[in-house]
Amino acid sequence: MSAETLVKGYDTLRRELAARDRGLREKVMSLDEAARLVSDGDHVAIGGCTLSRTPMAMIWALIRARRTGLTVSRSITSTEGDLIFASGLGKKIVTSWFSQGIVWGISKVMRHHVEKGLAEFDEWSHMAMGLRYRAGGMGIPFMPVRSMVGSDVARIRADEVKPVRCPFTGDEVMALPALNPDVALIHVQRADAYGNAQLDGLQFMDIDIAMAANKVILTTERIVSNDQIRRAPDHTRIPFFTVEAVVEVPYGSVPHECYGQYEPIFAQLDNYAALTSKDPIAGVKTYLDEFVHGPKDWAGYLDMVGLETLLTASRRGRVIFND
């Protein structure tokens, strides 16, 4: 799937928008029900960034639902990318960086799949990813930039970016193709039943992703009343009319972190790194079998992580609110 096939024309975007139910209605459902909103082969955007606010519970549910052939886009990709490739959930990831994290180094699982031709890693600059989502949210087919002109990223993506002349100055700029995902998966600290979502901490590219996507699946640490949302309207970043599903999933980013709620579960990430360091393929399969396919449900997975571990992560994550 090239950049051109990811770009949707204005008429297509208008038809999709007109077909959506944008009414103020309750959209609360389970992880399994939300997973049914994603079809094989969809372009799915993932909110958050690296280890922050990754919608891990929703990705976990999609793997268990045996979805396949997804094109996945994200600002920066971490361990969720390994699980997406190794499970067969996705065969292409569009992102600016793909690594378990600075501490653990470049993903050996990603290298295996890409170097063996089993999957694709489309690398863009971080700014380019953000501006592509911004273009998608604005309903325009491309975004002109200077930042990639003359770069190796532009050279590698030569079939997907186009040099254009500014009609006002005659200067040459680079046209980045818009990203309009079929579905966006975004994890937030709180949302009401209608899908009005409030974010604490860095917003990353989530607002543009929500506006660019045809539909949004929200997972949230807790569902709050609409009255509470209205008491702090300036904190509402994602509006209800973009959202198709709201799933209450406490610890929905574990083993990653959720700002102000809990820090990463480093023991789990260290364990995963140790498994994949020895043998990337056998290691990630062991992890998937034990922690994704093994538990009865998400609560069962959290039981495996451990109550004491979760409480410690929560205590450390909430220290930012201490006086």
Cα angle value 29/35/36 (rounded, 5°) = 90
120: which strand partners?
92
SS3 233: helix
User: What are the C-alpha distances in Å from 244 to residues 61, 182, 186, 194, 195?
Assistant: 17, 12, 12, 9, 8
Task: State the pLDDT confidence band at 232, using cuts at 50, 70 and 90.
Answer: very high
Work out the percent of the chain whose per-residue pLDDT is above 70. 98
| pLDDT per residue as tens digits for the range 167-196 | 999 999 999 999 999 999 999 999 999 999
CB atoms within 10 A of CB 293: 11
The answer on pLDDT for 230 being more than 80 is yes
> Pick the residue with more confidence: 155 or 230?
230
| pLDDT per residue as tens digits for the range 204-219 | 999 999 999 999 999 9
| pLDDT per residue as tens digits for the range 86-119 | 999 999 999 999 988 777 888 999 999 999 999 9
- Among 1-10, 119-128, 223-232, 270-279, the minimum mean pLDDT is found in 1-10
| pLDDT per residue as tens digits for the range 279-291 | 999 999 999 999 9
Q: What's the pTM value of the predicted model, to 2 decimals?
A: 0.94
Q: Which two tokens stand for residue 110?
A: 């990603």
* Residues in contact with 207: Cβ distance below 8 Å, sequence separation at least 6, in sequence order: 137, 237, 238
The answer on pLDDT for 62 being more than 70 is yes
Specify the pLDDT at position 4. 52
Write the single-letter amino acid at 17: L
Write the single-letter amino acid at 209: I
The answer on pLDDT for 25 being more than 80 is yes
Instruction: Say how far apart CA 306 and CA 147 lie, in whole Å.
Output: 45
Q: What is the mean pLDDT of residues 243-261?
A: 98
* Residues in contact with 81: Cβ distance below 8 Å, sequence separation at least 6, in sequence order: 72, 74, 93, 95, 98, 107, 109, 110
